[in-house]
Structure 1
């Protein structure tokens, strides 16, 4: 961390002495920085504790979500959005990531030729179509355990979206905002769920169509919706350019996720890893250029969110698990002394 590299008054260098810069390497600044870090860390620890309670209550462990996965999801969120007043955005990022990974695991384990996805999506959409009953949704699946898991997971998703919408309305002090937020959250999730229908052959030619690529956009949209910024920034951008930015974002997230999987495989995948890494680097350069060259760059919050999400995918793809765990400990648990 930067605080560790800030030497205080004991840090001696020529420029400080010759040009009389007392505010450089200042002990008071160092003390205030440490106190501010520790104060923020306490807030983040409380948020993480509440997130872990939610994880336990929703029984997501049965969907291959581990306690360490919860910590990592929150760490990625807090690394990009650390301000105390943006707690809801961190929570939305972490919960969306955790739920998307749990649902992905559920779909990947589908041994019923895609029926789990079909039935899960129908159950999720039940509030939009009251004529669909939960029993009807899962009546065609023979294995009762899978049926129950799907019901639990879909119900957890719906309840979490309701909670996010309620928190967003409370934050904006506008109860009328709740229905608007809930509608757009469900719409974003519906779009992501439907990407699982896309055949593998399709998204191997267009990575932006893949579920793992679209997960990046799901994170971006969920954060923006709950922060009350959804729809504001798009009008400042050229629609065609905005579409290309989203497509590129999704493609990068897919490549980086694929690279993460390659890193977990045998060293024989090293050649593929290097190739994917170069492709991701090239696309990230394009994305950054498009965002910077867009009009009103600094006024568009969604661009900052896009970059934060993409950088989190990049970080996971390039950092070994042991390094990530060390960073989690430094940021969330080790006090600045």
Structure 2
């Protein structure tokens, strides 16, 4: 485990300009470049011989080029056609060329059933361009007049209407990533849209055609650097420093292991923040001259959740809709998914993110209603379960074991085994770190004990004063050993819990929390006779934080937590029904988000303490908005991870 952790730390600290897999397509375009240097009258040769060598060495057994373990027909055909053209251009390894042609001929028809969402970026531009190049080289046995090819040309014409020639030459657009697919360009005008590193929107293939047309030194320098860095196998985009950092952090969070790498994540986000473009947002690389909503929203969400001050953008809204890149023909579900996740980090008054939340929510639900779950990006498969909690992989038997349940006689207080499991599910969904089992158990058991106490007080007449008095004088645990009455049962259960939690915290951390723990529960018990009473949420927060050894709390956060959770309880119980009250809940939730994640507020409070407030409120929000059947479904999914699901509970 430690070795793996160190390996990941080393990877995070050495991201540099980002790493990505080799693109046979871009490698082929680099290999097209002719070395015009005259050496003793030799015939023409490739400027980047290592690129041609990579193509020769990396053909797959079926004759194609591409990712061996991932088959996307658009990507595989594009790669293979480019490599076939490269081998033909340099008249080498013709047997490999012929095998590639055969693959294209046998698989071209698969484009007819290809999912449009899986289409490679700019495919409608660049595939026809390669076909024309192949025809010029007299590569036979490719069905150039097939109906599916005609359909691609028709798609290209439609896409041309979205990008008028004058627009392409005037402002940076996504077309700069696929210049090799266009004709009749004014290259001197286009050079003004070149990035600082010499590339055209980080694309080696686009930069390769630009160099072939202009002999621009900056283009050449970029290509030389990329080819040398990757030993001939060129990626589809370089650099990818921003994307690599953001998606690396996101993946660690989704795996539930980001807490192992807090210092590394801080360094990565500081790099991202230093390169943050306040006016435009982000593309995959620093200093890009265009931005996309996917990378920008990932940056906004992660930066905000780590206390960085970043503002939202209006660039990606057109009328009532949001887009990733202007002129796109299809909206990616994964991009909309990331925009939806970003909208969860909105503060009060940020209408643009409120609108983004509503738009993406409707888009994703329609997407699922149409039985769609495919996308070319990596997290589309998770979209059907986004309402699920991300992390619920740890469910120890001790929390809901038969012994604890039966020993405490919870059945006599209207509590069943399922409620114990739900309580732990909510706790484990938010506090999933292995070493935080004490806090997790404190949360789950506190929920059950609160249910027990409120049930008892509601069922028994004139019990509140008696219970409170007994609690204050109940310091000798050995004084009452048998559960003679329900009151004694309640006091025994509560004191055993407080005593055990205090003991474990002292053993693990060397911090004595007995007195503070008694005080926060006494305060909650006293509030039960008030109207309104102190919310259970504040008690949970204080108990969890004390279990973590945090002896301080924040009055402002406590006030907001009580306010939000009180309203959520009313909402759940049907006491709030009109839309204005629901908007009030959202308003106070957004205020809480800002208090927790903005460094301008509660500066002296430990971030872990603030996170506990937010984690508890999120579970109240979840149970108020999600039906019991849905919660049961989420828990049943959790059980799937265990070899013997019958042993999870009891």
CA contact (8 A) 2:439 2:548 kept: yes
Mind listing any 5+ residue stretches in structure 1 that lack a counterpart? 1-7, 35-39, 135-144, 204-209, 235-241, 263-268
User: Per the alignment, in what secondary structure is the counterpart of residue 551 of structure 2?
Assistant: coil
Residue number in structure 2 paired with 1:251? 563
Which one of the candidate residues 19, 25, 44 is aligned to 2:237? 19
- Hey, what's the Cα distance between the residues in 1 that align with 2:392 and 2:620? 23
Q: Does 1:221 align with 2:542?
A: yes
Q: Does 1:260 align with 2:572?
A: yes
Which one of the candidate residues 520, 534, 541 is aligned to 1:188? 520
Give the TM-score normalised by structure 1. 0.70
Which one of the candidate residues 427, 437, 453 is aligned to 1:103? 453
- Hey, what's the Cα distance between the residues in 2 that align with 1:307 and 1:272? 24
CA contact (8 A) 1:120 1:151 kept: no
- Hey, what's the Cα distance between the residues in 2 that align with 1:313 and 1:259? 11
Residue number in structure 1 paired with 2:616? 309
CA contact (8 A) 1:41 1:332 kept: no
User: Per the alignment, in what secondary structure is the counterpart of residue 230 of structure 1?
Assistant: coil
Q: CA deviation at 1:195?
A: 0.5
Larger radius of gyration: 2
- Hey, what's the Cα distance between the residues in 1 that align with 2:605 and 2:71? 35
CA contact (8 A) 1:75 1:332 kept: no
Q: Does 1:153 align with 2:153?
A: no
CA contact (8 A) 1:45 1:332 kept: no
- Number of paired residues? 273
Residue number in structure 2 paired with 1:278? 583
Q: Does 1:119 align with 2:466?
A: yes
Q: Does 1:331 align with 2:549?
A: no
CA contact (8 A) 1:63 1:106 kept: yes
- Hey, what's the Cα distance between the residues in 2 that align with 1:11 and 1:221? 52
- Listed as ranges, the matches of 1:41-190 within 5 Å are 43-50=394-401, 52-110=402-460, 112=461, 115-127=462-474, 148-172=485-509, 174=510, 177=511, 180-190=512-522
Question: Which protein is richer in helix relative to its size?
Answer: 1
Q: CA deviation at 1:127?
A: 3.2
Mind listing any 5+ residue stretches in structure 2 that lack a counterpart? 1-67, 73-117, 122-202, 204-234, 257-390, 644-650
- Hey, what's the Cα distance between the residues in 1 that align with 2:617 and 2:639? 22
- Hey, what's the Cα distance between the residues in 2 that align with 1:192 and 1:127? 16
Given the superposition, is the C-alpha separation of residues 294 and 127 from structure 1 closer, same or farther in structure 2, using an over 3 Å criterion? same
Given the superposition, is the C-alpha separation of residues 275 and 116 from structure 1 closer, same or farther in structure 2, using an over 3 Å criterion? farther
- Hey, what's the Cα distance between the residues in 2 that align with 1:299 and 1:47? 30
The structure with higher relative contact order (CA 8 Å, sep 6+) is 1
Residue number in structure 2 paired with 1:141? none
User: Per the alignment, in what secondary structure is the counterpart of residue 528 of structure 2?
Assistant: helix
- Hey, what's the Cα distance between the residues in 1 that align with 2:607 and 2:616? 15
Superposition misfits of 4+ residues, deviation over 6 angstroms: 23-26
CA contact (8 A) 1:224 1:230 kept: yes
Given the superposition, is the C-alpha separation of residues 244 and 43 from structure 1 closer, same or farther in structure 2, using an over 3 Å criterion? closer
CA contact (8 A) 1:253 1:310 kept: yes
Given the superposition, is the C-alpha separation of residues 274 and 334 from structure 1 closer, same or farther in structure 2, using an over 3 Å criterion? farther
User: Per the alignment, in what secondary structure is the counterpart of residue 609 of structure 2?
Assistant: helix
CA contact (8 A) 1:41 1:333 kept: no
Q: CA deviation at 1:323?
A: 0.6
- Hey, what's the Cα distance between the residues in 1 that align with 2:405 and 2:438? 16
- Hey, what's the Cα distance between the residues in 2 that align with 1:272 and 1:108? 26
Q: CA deviation at 1:42?
A: 7.3
Given the superposition, is the C-alpha separation of residues 228 and 297 from structure 1 closer, same or farther in structure 2, using an over 3 Å criterion? same
Residue number in structure 2 paired with 1:139? none
- Hey, what's the Cα distance between the residues in 1 that align with 2:615 and 2:496? 26
Which one of the candidate residues 315, 320, 336 is aligned to 2:627? 320
Given the superposition, is the C-alpha separation of residues 295 and 161 from structure 1 closer, same or farther in structure 2, using an over 3 Å criterion? closer
RMSD value over aligned CA atoms?
A: 3.6
- Hey, what's the Cα distance between the residues in 2 that align with 1:18 and 1:96? 53
CA contact (8 A) 2:394 2:428 kept: no
User: Per the alignment, in what secondary structure is the counterpart of residue 194 of structure 1?
Assistant: helix
